[in-house]
Amino acid sequence: MNSRLFLKLAVTNIRNHAQTYYPYVLASSAAVMMFYDMLYLYFSREIGGMADSSALRLMLAFGCIVIGVFSFILLLYVNSFLIKRRKKEFGLFNVLGMEKKHIARIMLTETLMVAALCIGLGLVAGILFSKLAMLLLLNILGLGASFGFEVPLPAVAITVILFGALFLINLLYNVVQVRISRPAELLKGGNVGEKEPRTKWLMALSGAAALGAGYYIALTTESPLMALNQFFIAVLLVMVGTYGLFTAGSIAILKSLRKNKRFYYRTNPFIAISGMIYRMKRNAAGLASICILSAAVIITLSSTVSLYAGLEDVLRTRYVREIAVYASEVSDENIQHLEQIVAEETKRAGIVPQNPVSLRSASLIAMQEGNVFRGARTNFRAQNAAMLLFMTASEYSRFEGVRADLAEGEALVYAMKGEIPGDTLDLDGFALRIRSRLDKMESFAPIFAKGIMTKTYVVITADERDIFRARQALEGADAPKLLNYEYHFDTQADRGTQVELAASLKQAIKGASIDGHADGREAARQSFMAIYGILFFLGLFLGTLFLLGTVLIIYYKQISEGYDDKDRFAIMQKVGLTRDEIKKAIRFQVLAVFFLPLVTAVCHIAAAFPVITKLLALFNMTNVPLFALCTALTIVAFAVCYTLIYALTARTYYRIVR
């Protein structure tokens, strides 16, 4: 056999399987393109020249890894589907006298062609798109556009190597598949009498239990610090639960529906239920994957979008005024020094501080159990963590404009978050009697409201000595006998001046060797924009990729379903079902199968919503209505895409069945 024959056979084969191969080629090219573009951004000189380049590159590297791994899994899955459909054809080649090594050679030729096509197309598209990706990223980051053009060689090399390896693995898999099977089996292909699936009650129940547990954790987690760990556990549980319920739960439900004779023996339920039992048996895992992918897409997009869109909120929560000056454990002289620095620097910038607020306080973390607080150094547990903010009665009076007469050993308590029972505060042996509780602290609250995550209590004592006693009890004898100081003010100046002022203040404080720093809303904007911008960008990129994966899985599901159902509906027609009735029955099943994952995904998101708001609080994003809006919009956009994909692929399905 000469090589031209192999080439010809390979070309004809691919052309004959256009219906299944074109989407594969398109998806592979898209994966190559996205992977290359992410690598391009990682290697590009433009990003390298940025101020936060290392953090940015870390995120981009993370994006590369996710895209690489996901493309790998997706293309392996699609390939296994393709080869299953083609087994019959290879069986025929085998029966017609081709040896298995010849078949392997045909496969090699095919793979080489497909690989060259996909990698080539993907790279060309990637290079063309790279400039656009860069502009998009720069735009999101709020940076100016530049007009260079480059093709980093390492990016090209890594892309070619990774996807080359992927195609090689697919080829090996296919060769092994043909090698281990016998011609007779190959010819028979997929048409082996299928057993009715058994009801796996254990799996169904454990799936339901896992899902319930996951939902419970997601709905009940209170503290954002706990949320991160808990969220991963919840995600794992929900994933397990989804797989369990899709595979076993669905069949259990369908079978119990079948037991209800009066319901079951009517045209639509009769055909739909019996069909669904087999459909779920074959597709449960795929559908569960679609469900989880969909949920991942929606959550990734909605949270990154809301972080990005809520940047202004975040800055306002974090910075009560435009400029903030902090000093920790600072003496009175140093505070005067600090005030002097602020006065000098503002004067030099031609600014008169507006709406100033200052505060002297001490803050520490303790482990709370009822009204007992213990030091955090030993036995730290996130769910017990509580923040204690101490301030003196005189500071409180100055601050709120309310007189507070306290004797030594007495305290006023304001619980911003959490509860302290009883009428004494036990600070690891040092007791403070709670003289009264405050319902509100109007002028104070905003300063400390910056996304409180744990239980937080403001404790007002008679004087500084009680604060130091408390600290000694909780932190040991060497606890510092100084309070923190902070000073916030507005400037009524433009952005540039604000950024400069924050920088010059920072410099001056450093020069005065005071343990403090200065910061500003505008100065922070850029670094926040960089973090949230790159998250948003990654969210967009990965969201698109996940969507691509969903499309592919749905498409191939429709095709394989179509071939399976073809004979079945032909029989029904012979037995006396009209074309319309058949169409109705098909539509119901297809709709149920393809919208089940979407509906379940939306349920998951609804359950995850509270815990995600808490996670976002870690990023200072506390605008829940904004997040809700972003989530709703993302769900709608996703549902529209999904429906579109469904409508397109359903046409393929109907064409096969008819």
Partner 1 sequence: MALLEVRNLKKVYTTRFGKQQVQALANVSFSVEEGEFVAIMGESGSGKTTLLNILAALDQPTGGEVLLDGRALSSIPEKEIAAFRRDRLGFVFQEFNLLDTFNLRDNIFLPLVLAGKPHREMAARLKPIAAALGIAEILGKFPYEVSGGQKQRAAVARALITHPRILLADEPTGALDSRSSDDLLRLFEEINRQGQTILMVTHSVKAASHAGRVLFIKDGEVFHQIYKGSKTRHEFFQQISDALTVMAAGGGRHE
- Chain residues in the site for partner 1 (CB under 8 A): 193-196, 261-262, 265-267, 270, 274-275, 277-278, 568, 571-579, 581
State the CB neighbour count (10 A cutoff) for residue 244.
23
Residues 563, 222: Cα–Cα separation, whole Å? 50
Q: How far is the CB of 656 from partner 1 (least distance, A)?
A: 18
Angle at 73 between CA 71 and CA 76, to 5 degrees: 100
State which residue, 153 or 571, has the beta carbon closest to partner 1: 571
State which residue, 405 or 580, has the beta carbon closest to partner 1: 580
State which residue, 196 or 332, has the beta carbon closest to partner 1: 196
Q: How far is the CB of 274 from partner 1 (least distance, A)?
A: 4
State which residue, 284 or 411, has the beta carbon closest to partner 1: 284
Q: State the amino acid at position 363 in one-letter form.
A: S
Q: How far is the CB of 579 from partner 1 (least distance, A)?
A: 8
Q: How far is the CB of 557 from partner 1 (least distance, A)?
A: 18
State which residue, 267 or 336, has the beta carbon closest to partner 1: 267
Report helix angle 53-95 to 521-575, nearest 10: 20
Q: How far is the CB of 563 from partner 1 (least distance, A)?
A: 14
Q: How far is the CB of 187 from partner 1 (least distance, A)?
A: 18
- From residue 432, give the alpha-carbon distance in Å to each of 59, 392, 409, 462: 48, 13, 5, 10
Q: Pairing between strand 354-369 and 372-375? A: antiparallel
Strand, helix or coil at 234? helix
Within 17-152, residue ranges assigned H as helices are: 18-43, 45-48, 53-95, 100-140
Question: For residues 163 and 119, is the Cβ–Cβ distance under 8 A?
Answer: yes
Q: Name the token pair of 497.
A: 């001046």
Long-range contacts of 134-141 (CB under 8 A, 24+ apart): 134/40, 134/41, 134/44, 134/46, 136/537, 136/540, 137/41, 137/47, 137/533, 137/534, 137/537, 138/46, 140/308, 140/533, 140/534, 140/536, 140/537, 141/529, 141/530, 141/533, 141/534, 141/537
Question: For residues 227 and 611, is the Cβ–Cβ distance under 8 A?
Answer: yes
State which residue, 15 or 574, has the beta carbon closest to partner 1: 574
Task: Tell me phi and psi for residue 515, to 5 degrees.
Answer: -75, 80
- From residue 156, give the alpha-carbon distance in Å to each of 120, 130, 338: 11, 12, 54
State the CB neighbour count (10 A cutoff) for residue 173.
13
Question: For residues 74 and 29, is the Cβ–Cβ distance under 8 A?
Answer: no
Within 199-358, residue ranges assigned H as helices are: 201-220, 224-244, 250-259, 261-264, 267-309, 311-318, 332-348
State which residue, 266 or 403, has the beta carbon closest to partner 1: 266
Residues 82, 21: Cα–Cα separation, whole Å? 8
State which residue, 197 or 520, has the beta carbon closest to partner 1: 197
- Note the maximum CA span of the chain: 103
Q: How far is the CB of 218 from partner 1 (least distance, A)?
A: 37
Residues 504, 494: Cα–Cα separation, whole Å? 16
Question: What b-and-e string marks burial along 291-300, b requiring 16 or more CB atoms within 10 Å of the CB?
Answer: bbbbbbbbbb
Q: How far is the CB of 195 from partner 1 (least distance, A)?
A: 7
State which residue, 107 or 252, has the beta carbon closest to partner 1: 252
Residues 188, 190: Cα–Cα separation, whole Å? 6
Q: How far is the CB of 652 from partner 1 (least distance, A)?
A: 22
Q: How far is the CB of 578 from partner 1 (least distance, A)?
A: 4
State which residue, 80 or 256, has the beta carbon closest to partner 1: 256
State which residue, 59 or 271, has the beta carbon closest to partner 1: 271
Question: For residues 586 and 268, is the Cβ–Cβ distance under 8 A?
Answer: no
Q: How far is the CB of 265 from partner 1 (least distance, A)?
A: 5
State which residue, 15 or 266, has the beta carbon closest to partner 1: 266
Q: How far is the CB of 18 from partner 1 (least distance, A)?
A: 20
State which residue, 196 or 312, has the beta carbon closest to partner 1: 196
Q: How far is the CB of 270 from partner 1 (least distance, A)?
A: 5
